[in-house]
């Protein structure tokens, strides 16, 4: 073959070789992209039923779909979660009480932002008063003279005392209250030291199903503090740290996308309740445990904002939140 003919053939084959090489490059880039290390986030987890969405997202692969690896960090009190967020030790929380969030944001604006809220009331039970099975109490007002244990943290203590005050009971005069870690509530209601307790799900249902307690009333924040049984007490929610939102907004957006899918499943798919076993709920009880109304910020209605603002304002009155704060400043909406 002469040189001219060889050059012509070479030129004819060049586009095809270029396409092949381009395809190889794209393929190689795809391999590199898929092999890229996932962004790792540490998320604080408070041991209550309202933390279910984080495990939905982890176990169903929603976070991996967006290139995020989650380390769920158990934290038994809300103040510890706040300290960890301030210190930069965690990037967010699956479930932090909103009064704690409002308090730190009032003192240090932008420390955290809620991307979802958990509605609580008599239908979506989270907080509740329980009594021993043999108790004669029929209403909260009947707790006069009782020794009561309470879920940990200033927000839970403040809410429980405010609820009792709303029915005319004063601490010290009409009852005593002692903060107790969630892990000892079962033993507390069974022991001789307490007559009643202010507890959270899933412990409330576990106590009832095991016959060691009776629910006196659930959804008490909405009924007694917000003044309407159907009100939504947005007492907790999922959030991200201000540091993550500022330094890695694209990662935060991907997390929020996965979180939205997790929240949707937690609220609509009965099988999502299986993840309650992460909180030591027996498998045969998971369907009996009530869940909060998980709501992304973009789905809040004007009435919801009003309920939330009223609740946080009550937190100021309780002394749990130091200064009045506009709740919209502590929320982050993702479409």
What pLDDT is recorded for position 28?
38
What backbone torsions phi and psi does residue 128 show, to the nearest 5 degrees?
-170, 160
Task: List the chain pLDDT tens, one digit each, 335 residues.
Answer: 444 444 443 434 433 333 333 333 333 333 333 445 789 999 999 999 999 999 999 999 999 999 999 999 999 999 999 999 999 999 999 999 999 999 999 999 999 999 999 999 999 999 999 999 999 999 999 999 999 999 999 999 999 999 999 999 999 999 999 999 999 999 999 999 999 999 999 999 999 999 999 999 999 999 999 999 999 999 999 999 999 999 999 999 999 999 999 999 999 999 999 999 999 999 999 999 999 999 999 999 999 999 999 999 999 999 999 999 999 999 999 98
Q: Which two tokens stand for residue 2?
A: 């002469």
Give the DSSP letter of residue 163.
Answer: H
What pLDDT is recorded for position 36?
58
Q: Which two tokens stand for residue 278?
A: 């992460």
- Residue 187 to residue 192: CA distance in whole angstroms: 10
Q: Which two tokens stand for residue 223?
A: 């009924």
Q: Could you give the 3-state DSSP secondary structure of residue 70?
A: strand
What pLDDT is recorded for position 200?
97
Q: Which of 170, 177, 188 is closest to 132 using CA atoms? A: 188
In this prediction the pTM is: 0.86
- β-pairing, 92-97 with 39-45? parallel
What kind and span of H or E run contains 113? strand 112-120
What pLDDT is recorded for position 81?
97
Strand partners, 64: none
- Residue 278 to residue 300: CA distance in whole angstroms: 29
């Amino acid at each position: 073959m002469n040189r001219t003919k060889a050059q012509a053939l070479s030129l004819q084959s060049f586009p095809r070789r270029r396409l092949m090489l381009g395809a190889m490059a794209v393929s190689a880039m795809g391999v590199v992209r898929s092999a890229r290390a996932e962004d790792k986030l540490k998320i604080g987890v408070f041991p209550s039923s309202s933390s279910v969405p984080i495990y939905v997202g982890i176990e169903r692969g929603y976070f991996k779909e967006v290139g995020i690896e989650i380390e769920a960090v158990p934290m038994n009190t809300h103040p510890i979660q706040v300290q960890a967020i301030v210190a930069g030790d965690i990037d967010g929380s699956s479930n932090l009480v909103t009064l704690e969030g409002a308090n730190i944001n009032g003192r240090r604006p932008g420390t955290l932002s809620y991307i979802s809220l958990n509605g609580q009331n008599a239908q979506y039970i989270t907080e509740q008063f329980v009594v021993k099975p043999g108790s004669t109490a029929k209403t909260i007002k009947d707790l006069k003279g009782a020794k009561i244990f309470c879920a940990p943290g200033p927000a839970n203590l403040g809410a429980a005392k405010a609820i009792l005050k709303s029915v005319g009971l004063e601490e010290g005069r009409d009852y005593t209250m002692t903060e107790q870690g969630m892990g000892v509530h079962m033993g507390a209601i069974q022991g001789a030291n307490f007559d009643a307790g202010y507890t959270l799900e899933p412990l409330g249902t576990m106590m009832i199903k095991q016959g060691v307690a009776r629910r006196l009333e659930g959804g008490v924040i909405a009924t007694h503090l917000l003044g309407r049984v159907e009100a939504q007490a947005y007492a907790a929610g999922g959030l991200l740290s201000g540091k993550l939102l500022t330094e890695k907004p694209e990662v935060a957006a991907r997390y929020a996308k996965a979180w939205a899918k997790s929240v949707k499943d937690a609220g609509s798919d009965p099988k999502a309740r299986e993840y309650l076993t992460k909180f030591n709920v027996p498998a045969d009880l998971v369907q009996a445990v009530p869940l909060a109304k998980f709501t992304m910020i973009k789905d809040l209605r004007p009435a919801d904002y009003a309920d939330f603002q009223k609740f946080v304002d009550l937190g100021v009155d309780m002394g749990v939140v130091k200064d009045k704060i506009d709740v919209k400043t502590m929320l982050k909406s993702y479409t």
